[in-house]
Amino acid sequence: MTPADSGWSRPDWRTRESLLLAPWAMHAVDSAGRHHPEPPHQFRSPYQRDRDRIVHSAAFRRLAHKTQVFTGYHGDYHRSRLTHTLEVTSIARTLARALALNEDLVEALALAHDIGHPPLGHAGEDTLAELLRDEGGFSHNAQALRIMELLESRYPGFPGLNLSREVLDAQATRKKDGSAPPPLLEAQVVDAADSIAYDTHDADDAIELGLVTLEELCGLPLVAEAAARVGERHGSLAGVEARRAILHELVDRQVAELIRESRATIDELGVDSVARVRDVFRGSAGTPGRRIVAHAPTIAAGKRQLERFLFERVYRSDRVLAVRVPAQRQLTELFDWYVARPDRMPAGYRQRAEAFGVRRSVADYLAGMTDRYLEFDHARRLAPGS
């Protein structure tokens, strides 16, 4: 029997959302829409289209060859910016479903959250920020908005991806300059998932690369507690088996605790609408603003200890810092080369140089490059005798 024979008919996205989403979720029927109005899609909800537009963008594809923390020189086990993004999305979807939030919107926000990163991770970002110091600076969060609103050109009739207002607002919130409305729970979930993902996978990558040991990590209370739980369940494990089980437990514990804590806050504060979510974030006289999706104090303190450890032992390690110097030199030399020869950039960047200035447009071009294309282009443009 086919669905048609049975009298079954596919509920459209409006029905699905009205049945599945909580009153504190962002319902797509309440969206502020797109800058360039478009007719609704026959099958896909507005946020599903946003999600698809991000996946089909060049900026998203290039995340595969952009540094998260470690570059290609460090090996091939560790996360790239793309696999980090997919881990964030996976955690964010679990949180969204458990809190009856809009999963399509959460997925769009998670997949897009790092598309503004230039090549070579934070070394690249710091270099571009310094080069554009007198032109408004550079940050990956602001760059993601430029990509969404201007730099991607995939559709006739408008520049950028013409995403829903809620996606743009969520990205604007990440700039932390007060220009965006308070974040929806869907955006708060993605921020939390980002932190859960990188705290755990950076620890995993760092052990694999020999920067830290599992025993050292188990000296931190949050990790020790995960190790104790694994011990209770599996007895004594060793080596890679122990590491995988403990780090998996670390993610699972943070996710479960975050869902419980956020649900309790929703109940305690009587959160029953998106407007209330925003009021809680803003705070009021005598009540400080707060995030509803937030860890309990003990977990938050444990995460801060873990992050301090990773900062000292991983992000500031000689092996990570050793990549910074050549990265900064490559980017700076190529930046200067294109600023002197803007006509050598692709047509779109040449045209935008007239509106936004040569230095901004060169930064847009370089920021879009993958690590390996930057190296290729640097060799091609600046090799002796070229």
Q: State in angstroms the smallest separation of the CB of 80 from Mg ion.
A: 12
Q: State in angstroms the smallest separation of the CB of 294 from Mg ion.
A: 18
Q: Identify the three-state secondary structure at position 343.
A: helix
Taking CB under 5 A as the criterion, which residues in 95-134 touch Mg ion?
Answer: 114
> Which residue, chain included where needed, has tokens 């998260």?
68
Q: 114, 63 in Cβ contact below 8 A?
A: yes
By beta-carbon proximity to Mg ion, the closer residue of 194 and 204 is 194
Q: Which stretch binds Mg ion (CB under 5 A): 136-144, 192-200, 246-254, 320-328?
A: 192-200
Residues that contact Mg ion, how many (by CB under 5 A): 2
Q: What is d(CA 140, CA 315) in angstroms, rounded to the nearest whole number?
A: 18
Residue among 103, 166, 194, 364 that touches Mg ion (CB under 5 A): 194
Q: State in angstroms the smallest separation of the CB of 370 from Mg ion.
A: 17
By beta-carbon proximity to Mg ion, the closer residue of 114 and 202 is 114
By beta-carbon proximity to Mg ion, the closer residue of 122 and 146 is 122
Q: State in angstroms the smallest separation of the CB of 68 from Mg ion.
A: 8
- Of the candidates 35, 345, 18, the one whose C-alpha atom is nearest the C-alpha of residue 160 is 35
Note whether 191 binds Mg ion by CB under 5 A: no
Q: Which stretch binds Mg ion (CB under 5 A): 15-23, 157-165, 186-194, 376-384?
A: 186-194
6: tokens are 């049975």
Write the secondary structure of 152-217 as one string of H (helix), E (strand) and C (coil).
CECCCCCCECCCEHHHHHHHHHHCCCCCCCCCCHHHHHHHHHHHHHHHHHHHHHHHHCCCCCHHHH
Q: What is d(CA 337, CA 333) in angstroms, rounded to the nearest whole number?
A: 6
Amino acid at 133: R
Residues 135-174: x where in contact with Mg ion by CB under 5 A, - otherwise, as a string: ----------------------------------------
Residues 234-273: x where in contact with Mg ion by CB under 5 A, - otherwise, as a string: ----------------------------------------
By beta-carbon proximity to Mg ion, the closer residue of 109 and 151 is 109
Q: Which stretch binds Mg ion (CB under 5 A): 116-124, 190-198, 355-363, 377-385?
A: 190-198
By beta-carbon proximity to Mg ion, the closer residue of 194 and 375 is 194
Q: State in angstroms the smallest separation of the CB of 173 from Mg ion.
A: 14
Note whether 17 binds Mg ion by CB under 5 A: no
By beta-carbon proximity to Mg ion, the closer residue of 148 and 230 is 148
Note whether 199 binds Mg ion by CB under 5 A: no
Q: 338, 361 in Cβ contact below 8 A?
A: no
Q: Identify the three-state secondary structure at position 283.
A: strand
Q: State in angstroms the smallest separation of the CB of 89 from Mg ion.
A: 10
Q: State in angstroms the smallest separation of the CB of 84 from Mg ion.
A: 6
Per DSSP, 284 falls in state E
Angle 313-318-319 from CA coordinates, rounded to 5°: 95
Alpha helices in the chain (DSSP H): 13-20, 46-55, 58-62, 81-98, 103-112, 121-131, 140-146, 165-174, 185-208, 214-217, 221-234, 239-269, 274-282, 297-310, 318-340, 347-356, 358-367, 371-382
Q: State in angstroms the smallest separation of the CB of 8 from Mg ion.
A: 40
Residues that bind Mg ion (CB under 5 A): 114, 194
